[in-house]
Structure 1
Amino acid sequence: MKTLAIGLMSGTSLDGLDICFAEFEKQDQWTFKILKAETIPYSKEWEEKLRNSIHISAEKLLELHSEYGFYLGKSVKNFIEKHQLQHIDLVASHGHTVFHQPQKRFTLQIGDGRAVKIEINLPVIYDFRTQDVLMGGNGAPLVPIGDELLFSQYDACLNLGGFSNISLQINGQRIAFDIAPVNIVLNTLVQQFRKNFDENGDLARTGKIDENLLLKLNSLSFYRQSHPKSLGIEWCNENIFPLFKNVEALDALATFTEHTAQQISDIFNKNKLKNVLFTGGGTYNHYLIEKIKEKTTAEIVIPEREIIDYKEALIFAFMGVLRFKNEINVLASATGSREDHSSGIIL
C-alpha cells in the first residue's frame, strides 16, 4: 500500500526550508518516488531570527518556537496549494535545531508541530530527536534508517550540509556519525566577502593552505573519539572559530576545505569504501569534491539534483511514515541510544 508524505527539513546552513512530497511503498523492500520538492529560501529576517536563536532569552525562544511553527504550517499550506496536491497521509517536520547537547540530555528543534497542525489540519509528526537523547543517544544522525532501507545499494551515504555525516554498514550494523563541520564554517567565513556561500569553492581555491592552522584543526580531540558522535554549533564556536584569529579569510577558507577533505577521505580509506553516495549543498562545492577525490580511491557517486538537495527532507518524510506505522525509525547503532525505537510526536 502506498503512503504519501511531506517531509520538512531546515538545516544548520540556513539556506531555506526544504519541502519534499514523496510516495513510499513496501513490497519486498521499501521504494520511494519524489513527486514534488522545493526549497523556500529564508527571508533576511527569518535567517537572522534563526541564526540568533541560540543567543535569545527563554521567553523569546518560546515565542520563536510558536512563530516558526506557524511559518512551517503556512509554507506547507502554500506548497500544497501551489502544486494542487491531494491524498496526503501525513506531514513530518524536523524543525530547526537551536541547541544540541546530548551529553546533558537535551536537544531543541523549534517549530511547534501543534502550530503546523493548526495551519494544515493533516496528521503531523514532529520532534524526532528528543526521545533518543533521553534514551542516552546522540539524537543524531537520524537519516541512517533511510540509508538502510532506501539507499542500501551504496557502501556508504555522505551528507555535506552544515556538518558532514556518514552512514555505513560495519559488521552487519548500520553505523553513523558526524565527521566534521562543513558549510556551517565555510558559509560563516565567506560572509566577510558579503556572500552567503562560496560558489563552487572558487574563493577557497584562491587561498593558501596554512599548515599551522591545518595541524591545529586536525589535532582536535573530536576526531579521535569513537562513534557514535555528533557535532553542534556550540562545538564550532568553542573549538573552530577561535583558531581563525590572525588568519587571512581566503587562507582560512582554503585550509578549512583541506581539513574537511582530509577528515572525510580518512574515513573512506579506513573503512575501505568502494562507493559513496554524496548529497547536501556541499556536493556543489567543486573544490571540496576535488580535494576529497585526490585523497581516496572510493568512487564518489553524485546523484541527480533532486536527491542531492532533498534526501534529508525525503528521509524525514519516510521517518514520519515509519512512526505512523509504529515501526522502528531510529537505529541505536547510529545514535548510541540503548535500543532501536520509533520516535516522533504524532498529532
Structure 2
Amino acid sequence: MKPVKTYEAIGLMSGTSGDGLDIAYCTFWKNDKWHFEIVQAETIAFPSKLAQKLRQSHLLSAEQLALLDVDFGAWMGTQVREFCEKHRLAPLTVCSHGHTVFHQPHLGMTKQIGSGWTLRENAGFPVINDFRSFDVALGGQGAPLAPVGDHLLFPDYEGCLNLGGISNISMVYKGQRIAFDVSPFNLLLNEIAARKGLAYDDRGMLAATGKVNTTFLEQLNAIDFYTSKNAKSLGREEIEGLFLPLLEKHNDSEENLLATLVEHYAVQISTVVQQFFPPANNRLLVTGGGAYHAFFIDQLQKKLGNETTVIVPEPSIVEFKEALIFAFLGVLRINNEINTLAAVTGASRDSCGGVYYP
C-alpha cells in the first residue's frame, strides 16, 4: 500500500480583535479525504506598544505603515522561531494571515501587514502570506477564506460558524459551498466591556443580567448590510462607519447594551441558519472566542430550536481553527490546488492564492 504523504505547516492568525497571535503547528494527510491534527498551539499576546500600533495602523503615514509592516513581520518570525525551538518542530512552511489594515474590495484593495521576507528571515522557514489579494484582483471580496478548510476538513457539519471580532458562517447550499460575514461580534461586545474595565464579558455573565433595549435592537436590525444579497464582508471601515456611531447614541447601561447586542447577533445568525440549512437534523460547529460566550450560545440554540444543534468542540479547535485553516490554505498553495472559492467571494473564478517566500 502506498504510504500517505503528510504535510507539516504552521498557521498564524492575527484576528480583527487585535489581542494576540495564534500559532498552530498542524499535520495534514489525505487518503479518501483530508485529515488533520493540531500538534502544538498557543496564543502569544502582543506587546503593549505593538498592540497599540496595530490598533492605530490605519491612521499611520505611508512611511510609518511600511516600518510597522517590517517590524510586525520580524516580531512574528521571532515568535515562530522560539515556538519551534521550544517544541523541536520543523514545519514545511509558515502560513500567515497577517494583520488587516485596510479592506476595501469594492476599490480592488485589501492590505494585510507582516512582511513575508522579514517573517521568513526571522523564523528560518519558508513563508506563505497575502492570501487575499489575488481574489480581490479577480473581483472578489478576498474573504472569507476559511470555507475551503470548512469544506475539506469539517465535512460532517452542515455549517461552520466562527465568532471572532466578526461572525462569519460557511455552509453547503444547493450543492455549493457558500459563506459570508453575518454580523459584528466580539469587536462590539469588547468595546462595551471595556467601559467597565474588562477585556471581555466572561461567558456573557454581564449580558445575561441586562434587558434588551428594543429601540437599539430595531436600529441594529435595520442596518443596510443585512439586506445585501451580494457576496459581502465586514471590515473595520463598516464597524466604524455603521455600528459604532449607532452604539454611541444610546446612553444605556453596559449590561443592557450587551444584552441587546447578544439578541441582535442571535436574531441575525439564526435567520441565516434557518434560511440556508436543510429543514432538520443539522449540526452547526461554533468556534472562535465567542464560542465561550455561554449566554449567546444558549440564546442562539433557543432560536434554532430542535432543527439545528449548536456544537462547541474541544478547546484546541475552538481557539485555533482559523490558524489551522491558514496552515491548510498554505498546503493547498504548495500543491497548486484551489484554496479560494469564487462562490464564496464573488470573484470571477476559483483561485489558488498566497505569495510564497521560499
CA contact (8 A) 2:81 2:124 kept: no
CA contact (8 A) 2:10 2:93 kept: yes
Q: How far apart are residue 227 of structure 1 and its match? A: 4.0
Structure 2 residue corresponding to 1:31, chosen from 28, 31, 35? 35
Structure 1 residue corresponding to 2:291, chosen from 267, 283, 287? 283
Structure 1 residue corresponding to 2:315, chosen from 305, 320, 323? 305
Q: How far apart are residue 57 of structure 1 and its match? A: 1.5
- 1:45 maps to what in 2? 49
- Secondary structure of 2:97's partner? strand
CA contact (8 A) 1:190 1:198 kept: yes
- Secondary structure of 1:339's partner? coil
Cα distance in 2 for residues equivalent to 1:18 and 1:215:
36
Cα distance in 2 for residues equivalent to 1:272 and 1:120:
42
Name the count of aligned residue pairs. 346
Structure 2 residue corresponding to 1:186, chosen from 184, 189, 193? 189
Structure 2 residue corresponding to 1:130, chosen from 129, 133, 140? 133
CA contact (8 A) 1:329 1:342 kept: yes
Structure 2 residue corresponding to 1:259, chosen from 258, 264, 273? 264
Percent of aligned pairs sharing the same letter: 47
Structure 2 residue corresponding to 1:296, chosen from 288, 294, 304? 304
Cα distance in 2 for residues equivalent to 1:272 and 1:115:
44
Cα distance in 2 for residues equivalent to 1:50 and 1:324:
29
Q: How far apart are residue 15 of structure 1 and its match? A: 2.2
CA contact (8 A) 2:216 2:250 kept: no
Q: Amino acid of the residue matched to residue 147 of structure 2? A: P
| 1:25-174 correspondence to structure 2 within 5 Å | 25-86=29-90, 88-174=91-177
- Secondary structure of 1:177's partner? strand
In structure 2, runs of 5+ residues without a counterpart are none
Cα distance in 1 for residues equivalent to 2:211 and 2:47:
34
- Does 2:216 align with 1:213? yes
Q: How far apart are residue 207 of structure 1 and its match? A: 2.0
Q: How far apart are residue 47 of structure 1 and its match? A: 1.9
- Secondary structure of 1:307's partner? helix
- 2:274 maps to what in 1? 269
Structure 1 residue corresponding to 2:226, chosen from 223, 226, 234? 223
Cα distance in 2 for residues equivalent to 1:234 and 1:272:
30
In structure 1, runs of 5+ residues without a counterpart are none
- Does 2:16 align with 1:8? no
How large is the Cα RMSD of the aligned pairs? 1.0
- Secondary structure of 1:11's partner? coil
Query: Any idea what the Cα deviations from partners look like across 1:82-109, whole Å, max 9, x if unmatched?
Result: 11113x2111011011111111111111
CA contact (8 A) 1:176 1:227 kept: no
CA contact (8 A) 1:177 1:227 kept: no
CA contact (8 A) 2:14 2:98 kept: yes
TM-score w.r.t. the length of structure 1 is 0.98
Deviates more, 1:180-189 or 1:239-248: 239-248
Query: Any idea what the Cα deviations from partners look like across 1:88-142, whole Å, max 9, x if unmatched?
Result: 2111011011111111111111101111111123111000001111110000000
Cα distance in 2 for residues equivalent to 1:319 and 1:246:
42
